[in-house]
Every structure is written in structure tokens, then in C-alpha cells.
Amino acid sequence: MAIFINRSWATSTIIAATIAGVMGVAGCAKKPEQQATPKQETTTLNIGFQKYGILPIVKAKGELEKNLAAQGVHVKWVEFPAGPQLLEGLNVGSVVFGEAGEAPPIFAQAANPNLVYVANQPPAPTAEALIVQKDSPIQSVQDLKGKRIALNKGSNVHYLLLKLLEANNLTLNDIQPVYLPPSDARAAFEKGAVDAWVIWDPFFAAAEHQIHARVIANGEHLVSNHQFYLADRKFAEGHPEVLKTLVTTLNQTTDWVKTHPDDAAKLLEKPTALELDVLKTSISRMGFGVQPISEKVEKEQQYVADAFFAQKLIPKQLVIADAVLKNQVQ
């Protein structure tokens, strides 16, 4: 029996303020004698980001602003608490570009045909796991029968749990899912109100470091756990050069993070309020590099969508290919 704990966090924090002219043009009126040399029009690019990931590192380094200035583009950063809210922001027009894990784009595509997948980071299957308390009697996935397992409903770890159970000839009917957002799940986990927790980084790394949680299984050989970069379709198709600069800068940033993990962790320390060791562990499990959506990645994302449809988490069957940007950014 599924235990659903209703929380308003997923809907109450959506940024409602639409920034005037997401890709609007700003100009200043000048006197006739000053108009001999017209200035380049300035376009404002609104990018959605979260506290953890590659985009907040891009923001902290400031290189994207420099790279886009030559194209007359001004970057405005809009923070969101999580992927679903970010993609809702993209849906209502407060941002035109952002980053999210595997699950949020599937729900967003079901509601918004104007969303497109632009690029992805390589798989990071070890960056999510099913964990238990250090002294838990649970030693394997088989031991989860009848147990209360915390997870964020409709998230990437929801898919991980389905695949873990399937690989061990179990289903959701064999366990008691307890649907909680990460902060509430952590509290329930520590109090013993749940027996296990399926969670992703950096919450996963924090549980390992701070309360010595033990890993029963991670996503290796079961899921891909891609990180996706998504955009508004009209923006993506109308501004290929801006998009190309974005993807190039993202790629350069992941290369920098790979070779400077300690420096990257320091950049994320303040916004996430996490210890340096937690962030270093989390960063070590990232997928490095940003690449256009391949047929393989498209197919893997289709598996996630099909699984969610089978669980009645989305109202209709999706075709992921319909939401993949056709003119790929190289």
C-alpha cells in the first residue's frame, strides 16, 4: 500500500513572476544628434538554475556572460528549488533554458509540447542509491519486502526503485512506498520512520558523510541517470548561435569541474550550505561533458517515460523524439 504524504512544496514555490521579455529587446532613446552610431540591441536571456549542478558553477564563474556579450545577450539567472518548478517556469515563460534530471522533463513534456531537449551530461548511475541506516538489518533488496521506503514521487529515483525491484523479482506491491521530498525524507530516515531511502546527490552524499548511511544498491547497470539541458522550443529554434554558445560553455565548465573538483566544491559550498567533503563526493559521481541528445540517450529516456506511463504517473504515452531538438547543437 502506497503511503502518500501530501506537501505543498512542489507547487507553492514556483516562480510566478514572468520577467518582462524573456528574450525581449531593451533599448534607450537618444537625442537625434546622438543617433549617428546606433547601439547593438540587447537581448535578455533568462536561465533557470538550482543550488546544485553545473549551471550554478557556470553562474559563479561568470564566463557565459562574457561569451554572450559579443552577441548582444545579457544573462539573467532565475533560481528554482528543484527541477519540476524550473520546468514549470520554462512552461510559463519566466525562463527559456534550464537544467533538470531524467524525470521532470517527462512530466513537463506531458504538459508542454513547447519544451525541447537540447543536450545531456553522460550517465551518472552511481549518483543515486537506495540507502539504509548503518545498523539496519537490511542487507539486500530482497530484504525490502514489506518495508517502508522513502522516495520523491515521479523523480529519477522513482525509476531507480522500479528497476531495482524488477531486477529482484519484486514490485511496488511488495513494499510500502512513502512519498516525501528530500528534506522530509531525511528527517523520517533519521527518526526510523522509514526503513530505507532512495535518493540522489548531493542528498545521498550528505547522508553518507553526516549519518554514515549504508548503500544497498546504486543505479549501476540499471539506470542511466542523465542530467538534461532543456529549452523553450521557439527560443531554441530562433537563437541557434546563442544555444551553441551555451552548450560550448557548459561543456568547458564540466571539463573544468572534472580537473578542479575541489575548486568546484568550494563554489557550491555557500549556496548549498553543504560541507566541502560532501560536495567533493557528490561531484566525483557526476557525468562530465555535455553532448547533443543521441539516439541511445533518446531511447533510454523513452524507457523512463514508458515506465512512468505504466505506473499511471503521466496521463498519456509520450514520444521523447518529439521533444528532441532537431537541429542539433554541435
3-21 pLDDT per residue, tens:
444 333 333 333 333 333 4
- Per the CB < 8 A criterion, the answer to whether 222 and 163 are in contact is yes
C-alpha cell at 29: 532613446
The CA distance from 126 to 141, in Å, is: 16
N residues, the chain: 330
Domain with CATH 3.40.190.10 in the chain: 9-30+39-124+226-323, 126-218
Report mean pLDDT in 10-residue bins for the chain, 330 residues: 41 37 38 48 88 95 93 94 90 94 92 91 97 97 97 92 96 95 95 97 97 98 95 93 94 96 96 96 96 94 95 93 80
CATH topology of domain 126-218: D-Maltodextrin-Binding Protein; domain 2 (3.40.190)
C-alpha cell at 262: 575541489
pLDDT at 24: 39
Beta strands in 169-250 (DSSP E): 176-179, 196-200, 214-218, 228-232
* CA dist list (Å): 76 to 20, 59, 68: 11, 10, 12
pLDDT at 19: 35
Sheet (strand 3-4) strand order: 3-4, 176-179, 148-151, 196-200, 128-132, 214-218
CATH C-level class of 9-30+39-124+226-323: alpha beta
C-alpha cell at 266: 568550494
The CA distance from 130 to 189, in Å, is: 12
DSSP-derived letter for residue 142 is G
Three-state DSSP class for residue 311: coil
Q: Say what the pTM is.
A: 0.83
C-alpha cell at 139: 542487507
Whose CA is closest to 118, among 302, 303, 330? 330
The CA distance from 186 to 264, in Å, is: 25
Q: At what angle do helices 261-272 and 240-259 cross, to 10 degrees?
A: 110
pLDDT at 41: 65
* CA dist list (Å): 112 to 69, 233, 329: 30, 10, 22
The CA distance from 317 to 308, in Å, is: 9
- Per the CB < 8 A criterion, the answer to whether 198 and 130 are in contact is yes
